[in-house]
Structure 1
């Protein structure tokens, strides 16, 4: 398992074939040589990522010609922000030696030492405690809850027998503080309500649901900003709950890289998770990679895209996903979940259907996507969000971390 979406290197176990003096050495193709081979030129003898290429087609206008910048879509300048490189693809490359049965990790170690299951069960819109009982029987141990879902009492009823059997330590329970509860007193009240309804004694992870503070009485349709509830004061109240043992770990949700950096700069208990929308159409590679290096694990919600009951799910039913799933003998949902967990990103999958819940978990750690399959799925990345509310203004995906050279130079 790796955190950039790649497999272990093909030359593992052999005698340094990546060194130039080795008899089996082959150079790795880079983006410039790839564009040059495909005949993309900017008209000045330099390869360019703008041209449509082929059959005498002229290049598209450069940023200076069209009065803008295309740093989010351009390849080959600064930090690569597209699909993960596949490495050497020559026809004479030796095939990797066959391996034994695959056994992927079923949990990830957070930066504070706590282990988080790779596949969690989302509880939004769950109305029947039996759904939770069935999930437990299938083997789910991470239950992702939130005050805003309004059903933590239902979840608690589903967990009650399991907890009464003295198995609390087997569970990982997450809850979230809603936008109208950012003031310190409201943070405490919200968490105590969640604990009472869930009946679990403590939360394994408490998240800030959104980096949006609203005044009491605000709704999704009519949010009113609360300018007297800074994140620093809210976080201090969450840290106090950790001190008291009511919460084990803290994290955030829907935060940009810059927002996480600002939080870390002034906090005492560091966030260990950022739960965000992640799937092949919204890979957010920079966010995932940079936060991992900072000790913050990204966790994927909506790993299958949008809800088919609301509108057609163009990700789940994409012909490329269907083709790869058929080739691998898996379902489309399994293919999308595997894409995330294989790159080291835990997921929260939501369903009230017992068979789909089984499909999302059973046998998921016993197989891998191949290089070729992953490369096809990577082509789906278009930065599309399925969870996108009118009141949420998403930050520039390149904001925070080390800036691309192209942005520093104003290209």
Structure 2
């Protein structure tokens, strides 16, 4: 995958800030994408994709690419619903993979995700944890989720999202 649509500028950032306020990266040279297409055509990779591409970036890339991205990995959760991007990806057969479904890596923010009233209410109604509700929510939107955990008990908990619907 290509990790960012363009070069990062303005880093390092103040704590709690994820992007510089005026950061609107231009799509990088398409040479990287063309090289990835070559690798795919040669059978050296099974899939090619992007991360953190906005709707604008995907549209730009798709104007010049031979092979469309197979996946776009973006932050996606109830506090950052990227509806237009999701619809575009679904329309074009691009998997939207949701990262940070449980929060953006900041423990205080993650805690606020679990205490978000709709999440708490759904967890109580279904006898599930906040994490399970958040993961199930993204899955029901049509996203693939990639929850991170190194704890076996949390991995097991995260797998408990297939026996209920929101």
**TM > 0.5 between the two?**
yes
CA distance in 1, matches of 2:54, 2:79: 18
Which of 365, 368, 374 matches 2:162? 365
Does 2:31 correspond to 1:233? yes
CA distance in 1, matches of 2:33, 2:117: 44
Question: Alignment partner of 2:153: what SS?
Answer: helix
CA distance in 2, matches of 1:286, 1:271: 17
TM-score by length of 2: 0.82
Indicate the residue corresponding to 1:262 in structure 2. 60
Indicate the residue corresponding to 1:335 in structure 2. 133
Residue segments in structure 2 that go unaligned for 5+ positions in a row: 14-26
Indicate the residue corresponding to 1:212 in structure 2. 6
Indicate the residue corresponding to 2:12 in structure 1. 221
Instruction: Give 1:353 deviation, angstroms.
Output: 1.2
Which of 316, 326, 339 matches 2:114? 316
CA distance in 2, matches of 1:211, 1:302: 19
Larger radius of gyration: 1
Does 2:74 correspond to 1:276? yes
Instruction: Give 1:287 deviation, angstroms.
Output: 0.9
CA deviation map 1:129-148 (0-9, x unaligned): xxxxxxxxxxxxxxxxxxxx
> 8 Å contact 1:307–1:313 — kept in the other structure?
no
Tell me which protein shows more helix as a share of its residues. Answer: 2
Q: Which has the higher contact order (CA 8 A, sep 6+)?
A: 1
Residue segments in structure 1 that go unaligned for 5+ positions in a row: 1-206, 223-228, 370-411
The 1:319/1:249 distance shift into structure 2, 3 A limit, reads same
CA distance in 1, matches of 2:162, 2:112: 26
> 8 Å contact 1:251–1:274 — kept in the other structure?
yes
TM-score by length of 1: 0.35
Question: Alignment partner of 2:30: what SS?
Answer: helix
CA deviation map 1:64-91 (0-9, x unaligned): xxxxxxxxxxxxxxxxxxxxxxxxxxxx
Question: Alignment partner of 2:80: what SS?
Answer: coil
CA distance in 2, matches of 1:276, 1:312: 17
CA distance in 2, matches of 1:336, 1:248: 29
Equivalenced residues, count: 153
CA deviation map 1:52-74 (0-9, x unaligned): xxxxxxxxxxxxxxxxxxxxxxx
Q: What RMSD, in angstroms, separates the aligned Cα atoms of the two structures? A: 2.2
